[in-house]
Chain A
Amino acid sequence: MEYFLELLLGGLTRGSIYALIALGYTMVYGIIELINFAHGEIYMIGAFTGLIVAGLLTMLGFPGISILAIAITCAIIWAAAYGYTIEKVAYKPLRGAPRLSPLISAIGMSIFLQNYVMLAQTSDFLPFPELIPEFGFMSDFKTVMSSSELVIIVATVLSCIGLTLFIKFTKLGKAMRATAQNRKMAMLVGINVDMVISATFIIGSSLAAVGGVLIASHVGQINYFIGFIAGIKAFTAAVLGGIGSIPGAMLGALVLGLTEAFATGYVSSDYEDVFAFCLLVLILIFRPAGIMGKEKTQKV
């Protein structure tokens, strides 16, 4: 039973990280029907920003938990700036182009960012400080769940709730839903579509940056390539849940994370990816649009 619980929590942690990244994929797809392959790189850049800021603050002697807060804030701002810029540079000029063009542009952006970070920073693995302290009240459960896992799960849950409320109740959220449903119509009723798209990229990038800093602090290492696998897995999660649907991305990420954890725990970690992708194929056979995806209906 304890073993099951441990696997469950491990899977939830992994799923939470996937969810934070998958939300960015799914939101962007919902609004402009583009798979933003550079999104994994935003996650990586968020983590690097966190590393640099945390290093600086540690040198200046800030106390533990404030470093985490400031590092995440800086990572969010920096990654959001990247997301905004990428959209303006790589996708906006191609908005009227055939759908393949922005896709290629996205792949190019991803390669560019990876190599840029490799050259500007390093190709080596770097240690990432443990920004999440071991909480006193968690010491009894240490073997089952570490504090960083708790923080990751809680942060993801809060982000998801926050995002859902934002989409549902704010004016901008309403504008996003409208744009997702029909961009032309939204423009006709006076929505600044460009602004809405920018906002989508900014929100998606911010969530990825939070995920980047938290997971880097959890595993304690970082390099320029971490965005690739995380991005692919999150993209899988988004497709699994139904790309374009926000609750779908959350659900898909959790399902993927749990599948991987249980496949490792009860079968073999050799087959971790095999199980994850078999599940994807199965779900797509029976529900081609993903778990929560509906054919041709609202996307955000």
Chain B
Amino acid sequence: MRKLHLIVLCLAMVAMLVACGEAEKKADESADVKTGETAAPAKIVLGVAGAHSGDLASYGLPSVNAAKLVAAKLNAAGGVNGAMVEVVAQDDQCKPELATNAATKMVSEEITIVLGHICSGATKAAMPIYLESKIVVISPSATNPPLTQSGDYPNFFRTIAPDDAQAALEVAFAKGLGLKKIAVIHDKGDYGKGFASFCKTYIEAEDGIEVVLFEGVTPGAVDYSAVVQKIKGSGADGVIFGGYHPEASKIVSGMRKKGVDFPFLSDDGVKDDTFIKVAGKYAEGVYATGPMDFSDNPIYQEAVAAHKAEFGSDPGPFFPEAYSAALALLTAVENAGSTDYDKVVEALHTQYVDTAVGKIKFDAKGDAEGVGFSVYQVRDGKYVEVK
């Protein structure tokens, strides 16, 4: 009798596992977009590549939804150059080896425009294949700087700012303030030190501005008075700090208490209201870069509303960037009059498009102009965008 129970239980568990498997399979199928063979003569296929399954799927699936929404919107308005837009998704799970497969598949299906990939590593692996077949690619999320800056991939564009854009803006802004000698301080972390190193590189590349101090501080140390003295003694006329707000507030209040009142510039780890709360009056006048605010953008609002109506949920990460990328790609096709590679690339470089992240066009290297970061300053206890 007891054994019978056990057997029944085991069977029940197996059944449950099977049921789960089925459900997952179904979910997979529904996530995959139909690669229907409707042989309508006039159609434009928009390939969407990225992580659509696996543990990074949450970064990739929003771009599929975005592509579908853009396609539906354009199709409702009569399509692109009279052709209906169709979306074909290819999963790469953010893995370089799968990304090359996905790219090869795109090529074999004669797709000419691709939205993707999501992860920088996967994108890098797939790009040579796209370049060989002259396929235009726009990524909503691959932020690795060399993808555009190396100049290796003239067919690559992105609607997100590269990792070092913040540093470039910071240095340009510091120069605009008339600063000549910068003390660059960081918190030794990946994020803070990475940012500080980019700043250092940019400052060294510029004339009339130099790095007089480049130092890491230990996060959580009892106080930073020695570093503050060092900043003071270095002859700097401005500080750039890479890191987060707890260290930033300690350093900035230490500086102000010691009568050091030159500009303090930092990154989006400091563009946080907690910084203002903790540093109090010493936060006044501090500059911090942070992502541009596009929540007022009507196209963005429309896209979010459409997403809610269509999928019944809030869009996920990189959705606005992906929506903008799809819009930019298809608009470029429309402006070019065809999916001809050279014409589409030229249209992307030359003509402005209204997108969810603002009015953009792409610079010579493929980074979107008008996307990325703004400088904010603490004024009367609030971060205010500096125009």
CA distance A124 to B276 in the complex (A): 13
- Tell me, rounded to whole Å, the shortest Cβ–Cβ distance linking B174 to chain A: 21
- Interface residue? B258 (CB, 8 A): yes
Q: Are A220 and B230 in contact (CB under 8 A)?
A: no
Q: Tell yes or no: B41 within 8 A of A by CB.
A: no
B6 within 8 A of A: no
The answer to whether A260 and B226 touch across the interface, beta carbons within 8 angstroms, is yes
Specify which chain B residues have a CB less than 8 angstroms from the CB of A219 in the assembled complex.
222-223, 250, 253-254
Tell me whether B221 and A126 are in contact (CB under 8 A): no
CA distance A19 to B277 in the complex (A): 30
B120 within 8 A of A: no
Interface extent on A, as a size class? 35 or more
Query: In the complex, A11 Cα to B223 Cα: how many Å?
Result: 10
| Closest B residue, CB atoms, query A15 | B222
Chain B contact residues: helix, strand, loop or mixed:
helix
Interface SS of A by simple majority: helix
Q: Decide yes or no whether B33 CB sits under 8 A from chain A.
A: no
**A53, CB-defined interface residue at 8 Å:** no
Interface set, chain B 198-242, CB cutoff 8 A to A: 215-218, 220-223, 225-230, 232-233
Q: Which residue of A lies closest to B246 (CB)?
A: A125
**A261-299: which residues lie under 8 A (CB-CB) from chain B?**
261-262, 264-265, 268-270, 272-273
* In the assembled complex, B301 has its CB within 8 A of some CB on chain A: no
Q: Is B274 an interface residue (CB 8 A)?
A: yes
Which chain A residues numbered 219 to 250 have a C-beta less than 8 Å away from chain B? 219-221, 223, 225-226, 228-230, 233
Task: Return the contact of A127 from the options B215, B226, B258, B278 (Cβ within 8 A).
Answer: B278
Q: How far is the CB of B345 from chain A (nearest CB, A)?
A: 45
CA distance in complex: A180, B377 (Å): 58
**How many residues of chain B are within 8 Å of chain A by beta carbon?**
32
Pick from A10, A13, A127, A270: contact of B216, CB under 8 Å? A270
State how many angstroms separate the Cβ of B250 from the closest Cβ of chain A: 5
Q: Does A14 contact B (CB under 8 A)?
A: yes
Between A and B, 30 residue pairs with Cβ closer than 8 Å are A3-B233, A6-B233, A7-B229, A14-B222, A14-B223, A14-B225, A18-B222, A125-B274, A125-B278, A142-B257, A143-B259, A215-B223, A218-B223, A219-B223, A219-B253, A219-B254, A220-B280, A221-B250, A223-B246, A226-B220, A260-B226, A261-B225, A261-B226, A262-B226, A269-B216, A269-B218, A269-B226, A270-B215, A270-B216, A272-B218
B interface vs A, CB < 8 Å?
Answer: 188, 215-218, 220-223, 225-230, 232-233, 245-246, 249-250, 253-254, 257-259, 274, 277-280, 282
A residues in contact (CB < 8 Å) with B? 3, 6-7, 10-11, 13-14, 17-18, 124-127, 142-143, 146, 149, 215, 218-221, 223, 225-226, 228-230, 233, 260-262, 264-265, 268-270, 272-273
